[in-house]
Structure formats: structure tokens, C-alpha cells
Amino acid sequence: MKARVTVTLKNGILDPQGKAIEGALKSLGVNGIASVRQGKVFDIELAGADKAKAEEALKAAADKLLANTVIENYRVEVL
Amino acid sequence: MKSAVLVFPGINRERDMARALKLASGQESTMVWHAETALPKGTDLVVVPGGFSYGDYLRCGAIAARSPVMDAVRAFAADGGLVMGVCNGFQILCESGLLPGILMRNAKLKFLCHDVHLRVERSDTAFTRGYNARQVIRVPIAHGEGNYTADAETLKRLEGDGRVLYRYCSPTGEVGDLHNINGAAASIAGIVSEKGNVLGMMPHPENHVEDIMGCTDGRGLFAGLVEHLERAA
């Protein structure tokens, strides 16, 4: 079973990397981009086949390590 | 002063730290590997040194903060033991939950490596006893992620409880955007835990302790710790 955990910065947290990327896109002439926020994606292979258990394990992984919930939100998807 | 210096893969300031500790206390530090589950008996001070633990993978300090030795450090701190984290050590202490907040990418995205001035906010703590309140000291920094932030409630509490011990400032002690080198909230360079026994700071006092380094302003921190422990004994 495959899963994906997406970690993004919370609203209001300054993202200088996203800002720099936004500036670079503008200087490349890519039009129509209002703003960029950078995040992280974790593609995870799960050993079992139980979807509920998988979600539980992924939540634990995100809470304990993948995200720092002081500044980040996360979303768990079992694919 | 019996000190233990933690060693994680990718840490590179542990020897500088041990040298500064020996200079101040006359005693050798014990290096403690991250996979250990206990600290040496009779440890007075645990130091989490600077460097790039685990290559800063995931988030600075995130993986080191989950090492086996950190459970022992948490228990030690809960008992009132003194813990000090410098640079990557500060990031590790934040990630391990021993200090609130987080160190984000420097506001201008650059890795900064030069001397800065710090204002010592108070002198009545274990980590500032060797200085006078409002004294300005000069110490080096070397970091890409030193931009301290926390939620508004936490920042209010840190200020209200006098837990900000070091702030970036001008050579004459003025604090403001102009001297806030990495964009940290309220120019915060160093904070302590609620009980006052865990310090985290981005600058490197251990690199300004000998004449050959060109400045000895960092000595006060170490001398103050030795004095604090002698008084407590």
C-alpha cells in the first residue's frame, strides 16, 4: 500500500524560500503566479493492508517526526 | 563541573566546546555518543554542541532530537539538571521539546558567519551569572537557520517571564531591525526553559574564550556556570 504525507507551512509563517522561488519565477517570465509557499512531500510504502491502521501509523509518523507542528500542517493520504 | 558533551553524526563543534569547558572548570568533559541511553554518573551540565547533525536532513536538529540519548537528557532536565545547546544544539533542544519555538531559515536566506554583538538581558541566571545585566558581548555566529520564532502566546510568555537571556544588538547595545542579523522574533539569540535550567542560543560563546581567538567575551558564560555549580554544591 502506498501513501503520501504532505507537510506545508502554516498560514502566517514567513517562508523566505517560497518568496525567493516566487521571485525567480517572476524573473523567468512565468506569468500569473501570485505567490509560492514551499513544502515537503513524503512518499511512503506501507507493509500491511489495513487502511485504518495505515492512517494511524502515518499520523504518528507526522506528529512525531515528519512535521514540526509549531510551524507546519500535514495531510495524510493513503493512495 | 562535570560536563557531558553530546556527539551526533555531523556535529563538528564538540571539541571547541570541550576545550572551553576545560578552560573554565579545569575538568575534562565526557563525550557522550547519541546512541547511549544514560548520561555519565554525577553529570552537572549537558552540552549539545553545534554542527550539522544528520546533515540538517528533514529539519535542522529534527533527527538528533529523537536519538536515544535525548530521553536521558529530558529526564536529566526534568530533575533540574543544567542543559546548554549552542547553534545546532539550540535547534536540537527546540526539536526535542526542551525549549519552545523553532529556528527557521535566516530571513535573508544567507548562511551567516561573522561576529555579532549580544546584549545580556539579565545576570541572575546560571547562564549569565558571569556578566552584568545589559552588558554587550561579542561572539561569533555560523548558521543558516537561526531565525527564532514561536507562536505569539509563547513569545509573550518568554518576554513576560524574562526568559530571553541574549539578544542581537549593536556594539553599544541597541536592539532593532538593523542589528537583528537573521530576522529572529524580538532579536532573540538565546532563551531559557521555564525552570531556567535549559539554555539554547545560536551564537558560539565557546569560540571567544582564549586570547588567540581575538576576543574572550564568551568566557563569562562558562565561568558563570562554574560559579553557579560551586554555589549550589
Catalytic residue among B87, B94, B121, B145: B87
Question: What distance in Å separates the CA atoms of residue B117 and residue B173, rounded to the nearest whole number?
Answer: 8
Question: What distance in Å separates the CA atoms of residue B100 and residue A2, rounded to the nearest whole number?
Answer: 34
Domain count, chain A: 1
Q: Is B206 a known active-site residue?
A: yes
Question: What distance in Å separates the CA atoms of residue B87 and residue B204, rounded to the nearest whole number?
Answer: 7
Say whether pLDDT at A12 is over 90.
Answer: no
Q: Do A16 and B150 touch (CB under 8 A)?
A: no
Q: Which among B55, B54, B77 is positioned nearest to B66, based on CA atoms?
A: B54
pLDDT at res. A49: 85
Range B110-138 average pLDDT: 97
The number of angstroms, rounded, from the C-alpha of B38 to the middle of its chain's C-alpha atoms is 21
| Binding-site residues on chain A for chain B (CB distance < 8 A) | 13-14, 16-17, 20, 64-66, 68, 70-71
Q: Which residue has the higher pLDDT, B232 or B21?
A: B21
pLDDT, tens digit, 9 for 90 and up, residues B138-162? 999 999 999 999 999 999 999 999 9
Domain containing residue A49: CATH number: 3.30.1280.10
pLDDT, tens digit, 9 for 90 and up, residues A18-36? 999 999 999 999 999 999 9
Q: What is the ipTM of this complex?
A: 0.84
Domain that holds residue A64: 1-76
Q: Which residue of A has its CA nearest to B150?
A: A70
pLDDT at res. B188: 98
Q: Which residue of B has its CA nearest to A68?
A: B95
Q: Which residue of B has its CA nearest to A42?
A: B58
pLDDT, tens digit, 9 for 90 and up, residues B186-227? 999 999 999 999 999 999 999 999 999 999 999 999 999 999
Enter the DSSP assignment of B105: P
* Rg, Å, chain A Cα set: 16
- Chain B residues with beta carbon closer than 8 angstroms to that of A64: 66
Number of H-type helices and E-type strands within chain A: 2, 3
A35 phi and psi angles, rounded to 5 deg: -160, 160
Assess B139–A contact: CB distance below 8 Å, yes or no.
Answer: no
